[in-house]
C-alpha cells in the first residue's frame, strides 16, 4: 500500500491524539466494510495497539488504512510503518508479556490474535513494518 493509492487513507502517527484519530478512521472503514460490531471492535483495538507501538517504539511513523477484496471476501487492511530502531528478535517481541516499555507486552501479540492475517518486517536499524488484515465474517 502507498499513499496516493486510491482508497488508502494515510495517517501520521506522532502523538496520542493521532492514535485517537487512527481509531476513528479504522472504525469508519470497518463500518463501511460491513463488519459486525465485534469485528469492528477487534480491528480498532488492534490498530490502537499497533499505532501506539509505532509511536512508543518506532519514534513515530505512518498508518495506512484500506479496503481489501479477495474473491468474494471483503475486509480492511492496516499497515504501520516507522523508521525507528527496528526489532532485533521478532519471535521474542511477539511473545506475550514481553515489553521494553513497561507495558503489558500484549500489543504485538494481541494485534496478531485479533487479526485474520498478520505480517511483520523489521531489522535493527531498518525500521519496522506491520500489516494486519481482518475479513468480514
- The answer to the question of residue 106 lying near other proteins (CB under 8 A) is yes
Considering only residues 45 through 64, tell me which ones interact with other proteins, judged by CB under 8 A. Answer: 45, 48-49, 52
Angle between helices 16-32 and 37-56 (to 10 degrees): 150
Draw the binding track, 10-49, toward other proteins (x: CB under 8 A; -: no contact): -----xxx-xx--xx------------xx-xxx-xx--xx
* CB closer to other proteins, 97 vs 125: 97
Single out the residue of 131, 120, 123, 112 nearest to residue 84, CA to CA: 123
Question: What are the φ and ψ backbone dihedral angles of 50, each rounded to 5 degrees?
Answer: -70, -35
Residue 114: partners with Cβ closer than 8 Å, 6 or more residues away: 42, 43, 45, 46, 132, 134
What is the smallest separation between the CB atom of 102 and other proteins, expressed in angstroms? Answer: 9
Q: Which residues bind other proteins (CB under 8 A)?
A: 15-17, 19-20, 23-24, 37-38, 40-42, 44-45, 48-49, 52, 96, 103-104, 106-107, 109-110, 113-114
Amino acid at each position: 500500500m502507498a499513499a496516493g493509492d486510491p482508497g488508502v487513507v494515510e495517517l501520521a502517527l506522532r502523538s496520542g491524539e493521532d492514535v485517537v484519530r487512527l481509531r476513528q478512521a479504522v472504525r469508519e472503514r470497518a463500518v463501511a466494510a460491513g463488519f459486525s460490531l465485534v469485528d469492528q471492535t477487534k480491528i480498532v483495538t488492534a490498530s490502537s495497539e499497533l499505532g501506539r507501538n509505532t509511536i512508543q517504539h518506532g519514534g513515530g511513523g505512518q498508518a495506512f488504512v484500506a479496503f481489501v477484496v479477495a474473491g468474494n471476501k471483503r475486509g480492511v487492511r492496516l499497515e504501520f510503518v516507522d523508521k525507528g530502531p527496528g526489532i532485533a528478535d521478532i519471535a521474542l517481541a511477539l511473545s506475550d508479556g514481553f515489553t521494553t516499555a513497561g507495558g503489558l507486552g500484549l500489543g504485538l501479540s494481541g494485534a496478531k490474535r485479533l487479526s485474520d492475517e498478520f505480517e511483520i518486517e523489521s531489522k535493527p536499524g531498518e525500521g519496522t513494518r506491520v500489516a494486519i488484515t481482518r475479513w468480514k465474517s
